[in-house]
Amino acid sequence: MSGRRVLLDAGNTRLKWAVVEDGHWHATGRSDYGDWLALTAELKADTDCFIASVAGAEQDQQLAELMKAAGLTPSWLRAEAGFGDVKNTYLNPDQLGVDRWMGLIAARQHADEAVLVASVGTAMTVDALSAEGVFLGGVIVPGIHLMRQALMQGTAQIQEGAGGWQAFPNNTADAVQSGIIAALCGAIAQQHAHLAELACVAPRCLVTGGDAEKILPHLSVPAEHMPALVLEGIDCVARGTIAS
């Protein structure tokens, strides 16, 4: 492995990336698929590349072609049964979303106690990790855009419109946005309560994902914003060890 590596978190909607050189993070970025200019500039011959993708086949093919054009052979990461002291207890460990797995690995670096990892993106996942590093399981719910899309498709009177959060909304756009925020925050709060009951202590709550900032002000449980959590997990796997 060279001293320089590019980390790619390929989500359903956007691509997030970071460049690590000699242990220092010196560049990060995010873009829509097809906008490769900034990333391409970082794909040098001496670069190792690690990709965690939950994107579709078309996006993965685009990434593969980009790497090939740059003369690089990337490592495509997958969820495994374990990494360091993090144990994956999914019934089929390799079916766990690799982004969720990377988030859990990174969360273990930040917390040696029970921790809840909420990733708010196209979908929202809320995953529980025990103080011993055992992945206990998690829930998946539609994210902000998918919830709004479902309401527009399934009802006759709700139209596209930018609403804001209100405790007591008095118009439809605000009612939709406030309901979505309440649903997402409620899912996190419920899983937080379940983990607190099991661990006999309030767990830490780490929040990541592109829409994290939209729900963080409204959470009823203390939470820490970790925008690069998945990339941190990718880097941890790339280094082959969990930092103590």
Write down the pLDDT at residue 240.
Answer: 84
Q: Name residues whose C-beta falls within 8 Å of residue 156's C-beta, 6 or more positions apart in sequence.
A: none
Whether 242 has a pLDDT exceeding 70, the answer reads: no
Question: What is the Cα–Cα distance from 220 to 223, expressed in whole angstroms?
Answer: 9
Tokens of 184: 């997402």
230 or 31, higher pLDDT: 230
Which domains are present in the chain? 4-76 (3.30.420.40), 82-237 (3.30.420.40)
Whether 156 has a pLDDT exceeding 90, the answer reads: no
Whether 51 has a pLDDT exceeding 80, the answer reads: yes
Q: How, if at all, do strands 86-88 and 82-83 pair? A: antiparallel
Write down the pLDDT at residue 1.
Answer: 53
* DSSP structural state of residue 72: -
How confident is residue 229, by pLDDT bands cut at 50, 70 and 90? very high
Backbone angles phi, psi at 49, to 5 degrees: -130, 130
Q: Among all residues, which ones are annotated catalytic? A: 99
Residue with tokens 């969820």: 79
Backbone angles phi, psi at 44, to 5 degrees: -95, 165
Whether 25 has a pLDDT exceeding 70, the answer reads: yes
What does the pLDDT average to over 211-221?
A: 96
Q: How, if at all, do strands 4-10 and 48-53 pair? A: parallel
Write down the pLDDT at residue 177.
Answer: 93
> Could you read off the pLDDT of 98-114 as tens digits, one per residue?
999 999 999 999 999 99
Tokens of 171: 């118009």
